[in-house]
Amino acid sequence: MRTNIENCKVCGEPIFYKEGIYDVYPDCSCMIKERIRLKISKYKKLSIIDRDFGSNVFGKAQTVCSKENDFIEKFKKYSERFKKALESNIGILMSGLPGTGKTFYANCIANEIQSKGYTVLSFNLSGYLRKIQEDYSNKRDFVSEEEKLLQAVKEVDLLVIDDLGSEKLSDWGMEKVYNLIDERYKANKPIIITTNLDKDGLEEHLMLNGSDKLLDRIRAITTPFIFDWDSRRKRKETDIWD
């Protein structure tokens, strides 16, 4: 029998009661929402994202062909059914020429699932490498920036890696990219990757000591979507040169 019940002053749900000889402190809806908010905020601060990330939503999509229409419907379903994607570790690999909408759709998915309370970590890969390289040069903390980010990579519900292949990878850079992908692979959680490289280009870019094990990991946890239509980016018209 419950006694000495104390309710939250906001939502009215119990936050304390006695169950026989035991003191019970359940989470009310307010506590659960605040915990989710803080968790989402934590990963937003760690993210190294595209400048338009927050404004990218499906409602702003301007498709140019029937194939893109088909893709956007699949991406909407992915967002709506993300719980299943999370349970089954179903990721997405978006590849194609620059300006075809890959980053936009990755951001749309990320924003949509964040609105449902899921956590997202988003990296521009060259920014990620630059961030951890700067940390090695100016190291002050016992825990490196890379360790912090890799821990977040293991915890977060969705990891987005944008523009894979735009960076020139030294042996050091390749090692860091491998660590990043491998941590996510071992975490058994979904990943979205965008790249301007085609299949052969990715294989060449991600070859590690003569092995394609890094690309194998990506293939194992993602479904490919090839953006093979023309770029929607237009050169700005100007009379400045006249």
- Return the half-sphere exposure (C-beta side, CA atoms, 13 A cut-off) of residue 98: 6
Task: Give the pLDDT confidence score for residue 58 in this predicted structure.
Answer: 93
Q: Model-level pTM greater than 0.85?
A: no
Handedness of CA 68, 74, 80, 86 (dihedral sign): negative
Residue 18 within any structural domain of the chain? no
Task: Give the pLDDT confidence score for residue 170 in this predicted structure.
Answer: 80
Residue 238 within any structural domain of the chain? no
Domain of 122 in residue numbering reads as: 38-227
Strand, coil or helix: what is 93? strand
Residue 240 within any structural domain of the chain? no
Task: Give the pLDDT confidence score for residue 141 in this predicted structure.
Answer: 55
Regions in the chain scoring below 50 on pLDDT: 236, 241
Give long-range contacts, CB 8 A cutoff, 24+ apart: 124-128.
124/48, 124/49, 124/50, 124/162, 124/163, 125/161, 125/162, 125/163, 125/164, 125/166, 125/167, 125/177, 126/163, 126/166, 126/167, 127/48, 128/48, 128/176, 128/180
Residue 77 within any structural domain of the chain? yes
Task: Give the pLDDT confidence score for residue 178 in this predicted structure.
Answer: 86
Residue 233 within any structural domain of the chain? no
Task: Give the pLDDT confidence score for residue 91 in this predicted structure.
Answer: 96
Q: What is the rounded distance in angstroms from the CA atom of residue 184 to the CA atom of residue 188?
A: 7
Residue 27 within any structural domain of the chain? no
pLDDT tens across 39-52, in order? 767 767 777 766 66
Residue 16 within any structural domain of the chain? no
Residue 42 within any structural domain of the chain? yes
Domain CATH code at residue 60: 3.40.50.300
Provide the domain count of the chain.
1
Task: Give the pLDDT confidence score for residue 241 in this predicted structure.
Answer: 47
Task: Give the pLDDT confidence score for residue 166 in this predicted structure.
Answer: 75
Task: Give the pLDDT confidence score for residue 199 in this predicted structure.
Answer: 82
